[in-house]
Amino acid sequence: MEIAFYIAGTVAVVATLMVITRHNPVHALLYLNVSLMAHAMLFYLLGASFAALLEIIIYAGAIMVLFIFVVMLLNLGKETAEQERKWLKAKVWIGPSALSAILFAEFLALVLSSGQAAYSPAVVSPREVAISLFREYLIGVELAAMLLMAAVVGAAHIGRHKRLVLHRFLKEEVEKEEEKHEEMVL
Amino acid sequence: MNEILKYTLMIVILLFTLTTIAAWLIWLERRMLALWQDRYGPNRAGPFGLFIVAADTIKLFFKEDWIPPFAEKAVFVFAPAIVAAAVLLSFVVVPFAPDILVADLDVGLLFFLAMSSLGVYSIVLGGWASNNKYSLLGALRGASQMISYEVFMGLSLMGVVMLSGSFRLTDIVMAQKDYWFVVTQPVAFVLFLTAGIAETHRLPFDIPEAESELVAGFHSEYSGMKFGMFFIGEYLGIILISAMVVTIFFGGWLGPFLPPIVWFTLKTFVFIIFFILLRASLPRPRYDQLMEYGWKIILPIALLNLLVTGGFTLLKA
């Protein structure tokens, strides 16, 4: 299975490179999706099947769909791709590539000098994940829950829209009610 | 080597049977709809009109495969393949019988949820790549509907996971030896079935392709075999959801006298016919009603069901 690991790793790297170099936003997002699935494969091959499938369900299946959803709504068409093409010239690449190359060389030197770790998958069952989440890392889970709650309240507030009034005589009543509501909130 | 051969053979047989059944379902659906509406339905080609499927398939193959010049070509061609691939991949974990199953993953249930969440891309990309406003509207509706109902689908199944203590589908089936989970988890069953209909965007929840308002929704621009892919994907989806309902809530292959695979097929067909009956009897809700119903009614009920199940499990332990 070591070969499968390297294949998935290569796919992940290539897909991520394609994400950066695509001009069309939807194509870039599709490559990002491939990259996420390759990561899920890597997790699975290392024995973390639970994490692998959550990666697909949450990242590839929900978050990326929302990304594409927004891109679709913004209707980023040929003009955006054209603009990207203008911005992404060969000249722009020189600085970042040189700096990354230095980092990559350092990384290679480190990996080669410290010797290779053996590929040794340790299977982690969903039960073990649950137990460590709700014992050792309970504080993290609680904090994440609080953060999500705040986000949900914020989203509900932003998404609250004015009530539809079907007749002009009803309009004043609704306005009065809303004022009352505001006072109560304050 | 023998193992590999056995599984390859099983996969080939499975693919062949599933696609064939999905094709015959079209005939079954038309005949059943006709029965309930007091007419004959297709009854000319072959006995009981059975060969209508062959005629339909040949017609689809010979239709002009037209890609509109304004479409985003690569994504347009690629999109219909996703739905069929995602649904067929889900069948990998379905236990048809104790020894007829491709992979017995320890996270089988999650694998099914993951694949059904990837199926959304087919609608979203197909609608976007068509570059047509009706398709885009269908795609937007499809994306929001499927993302929302996926949440309830996952949540409704967690009660079953609590009771059986495993994500492995064979374990879930074996945990139903004494009584089916539909007895202990009736609420979860109703929620899962509702979410399943929304996931396969079948009537009454076929809002992404509502033909009375959106022409044909996300697949307005598709023709020939590309449209056929969407079509077969939908019927495969019905088989998948029925098979999952049977596995999770109705004891899978368990049953007296008859061999396991026969029990599984019988139970699955009961649900397939139920899906068709729904189409014959229910009107389509409005888009905002569907979303409101999901987030304001189904979500609280699903969470309550989880809470009660958790409480009972704790009391029993």
Per residue in B92-115, pLDDT (tens digit) is: 888 888 877 888 888 888 899 998
pLDDT score recorded for residue A49:
86
Chain B residues whose CB is inside 8 A of the A60 CB are: 114, 117-118
Task: Name the 3-class secondary structure at A167.
Answer: coil
**What is the pLDDT, as a whole number, of residue A163?**
66
Mean per-residue pLDDT for B194-203? 84
CB contact under 8 A, B143 and A65: yes
What pLDDT score was predicted for residue B174? 85
Distance CA(B100)–CA(B261), nearest Å, equals 8
Quickly state the pLDDT bin for A10 (edges 50, 70, 90). Answer: very high
Percent of chain B whose pLDDT exceeds 70: 99
DSSP state of B296: I
Q: Can you give the three-state secondary structure of A73-129, one letter per residue?
A: HHCCCHHHHHHHHHHCCHHHHHHHHHHHHHHHHHHHHHHHHCCCCCCCCCCCCHHHH
Confidence band for B125, pLDDT divided at 50, 70 and 90: confident
H or E element, residue A63: none
Q: Do A49 and B143 touch (CB under 8 A)?
A: no
pLDDT at B221: 81
Identify the bridge partners of residue B100 per DSSP, sorted by sequence position. Answer: B97
User: By a Cβ cutoff of 8 Å, what residues of chain A touch chain B?
Assistant: 26-27, 30, 33, 49-50, 52-54, 56-57, 60-62, 65-66, 68-69, 72-73, 125-126
Give A49 to chain B, closest Cα distance, Å: 7
pLDDT of B67 reads 83
Instruction: Go through B162-172 and write b for each residue having 16 or more CB atoms within 10 A of its CB, e for each that does not.
Output: ebbebbbbbbb
Q: What is the mean pLDDT of residues B126-133?
A: 83
CA B269 to chain A, closest CA, distance in angstroms equals: 28
Look at residue A147 in the predicted model and tell me its pLDDT: 95
User: Can you give the length of chain A in residues?
Assistant: 186
Q: Is B118 on the interface with A (CB under 8 A)?
A: yes
The predicted pLDDT at position B72 comes to 80
* Amino acid at position A82, single letter: E
pLDDT band at A165 (very low <50, low <70, confident <90, very high): low
**pLDDT given for residue A155 in this prediction:** 87
CA Rg value for chain A: 25
Q: B252 pLDDT exceeds 90?
A: no
Instruction: Write out chain B residues lying below 8 Å of A65, CB-based.
Output: 120-121, 124, 143, 147
More confident residue, B183 or A185: B183
pLDDT over 90, % of chain B:
6
SS3 for B100? strand
Alpha helices in chain B (DSSP H): 2-36, 52-62, 73-90, 108-118, 120-129, 133-164, 169-174, 181-184, 186-199, 211-214, 224-249, 260-281, 287-293, 299-316
Q: What are phi and psi of B228, to 5 degrees?
A: -55, -35
Contacts of B234 (CB under 8 A, 6+ apart): B83, B200, B201, B202
pLDDT of residue A184: 65
Q: What percent of chain A has pLDDT over 90?
A: 22
Question: Rounded to whole angstroms, how far apart are CA atoms B107 and B103?
Answer: 11
Under an 8 A CB cutoff, do B124 and A72 touch? Answer: yes
**Token pair for A88:** 């992404």
State how far Cα B78 lies from the chain centre: 20
Mean pLDDT (whole number) for A167-171: 69
Residues 6+ apart with CB under 8 A from B175: B163, B164, B165, B166, B181
Lowest mean pLDDT among A164-168, B181-185, B186-190: A164-168
Q: How far apart are CA B191 and CA B151, in angstroms?
A: 11
Q: Identify which has the larger pLDDT, A160 or B140.
A: B140
pLDDT bucket at A102, cuts 50 / 70 / 90? very high
**CA-nearest residue of chain B to A62?**
B147
Instruction: Report the distance separating Cα B122 and Cα B75, nearest Å.
Output: 10
Q: What mean pLDDT comes out for the span B282-296?
A: 84
CA dist., res. B10 & res. B12, Å (int): 5
Structure tokens at B197: 């209909």
How would you classify residue B127: left for phi > 0, otherwise alpha for psi between -120 and 50, otherwise beta? alpha
- Contact state of B110 with A66 under an 8 Å Cβ cutoff: no
**CB environment A100-115: b (16+ within 10 A), e (fewer):** eeeeeeeeeeeeeeee
Given pLDDT bands bounded at 50, 70 and 90, which one contains residue A81?
confident
**What is the pLDDT, as a whole number, of residue A115?**
67
Q: What is the pLDDT of residues B41-72, one digit of tens each?
A: 888 887 887 888 888 888 888 888 888 888 78
Average pLDDT over residues B110-130: 87
The answer to whether B113 faces chain A, any CB pair under 8 Å, is yes
This prediction has a pTM of: 0.84
pLDDT at A145: 92
| Structure confidence at residue A149 as a pLDDT band (50, 70, 90) | very high
Q: Is the pLDDT of residue B194 over 80?
A: yes
Report which of residues A30 and B210 the model is more confident about.
Answer: A30
Inter-chain touch A60–B118, beta carbons under 8 Å: yes
* Per-residue confidence (pLDDT) for residue B205, from 0 to 100: 80
Which residues on chain A are in Cβ contact (under 8 Å) with B81?
Answer: none
Q: In the Cβ-directed half-sphere of B110, how many Cα atoms lie within 13 Å?
A: 22
- Is the pLDDT assigned to residue A143 strictly greater than 90? yes
CB–CB contacts below 8 A, A to B = 66
The pLDDT assigned to A46 comes to: 86
Q: Does B207 touch chain A (CB under 8 A)?
A: no
Subunit contact A61:B139, Cβ cutoff 8 A: no
Residues in chain B: 317
Return the number of other C-beta atoms located less than 10 Å from residue B205's C-beta: 25
Name B139's Cβ contacts closer than 8 Å, sequence gap at least 6: A72, B123, B124, B125, B126, B127, B128, B208, B217, B218
A57 token code pair: 């369900």
pLDDT at B286: 82
- B17/B11 Cα distance (integer angstroms): 10
pLDDT of residue A146: 94
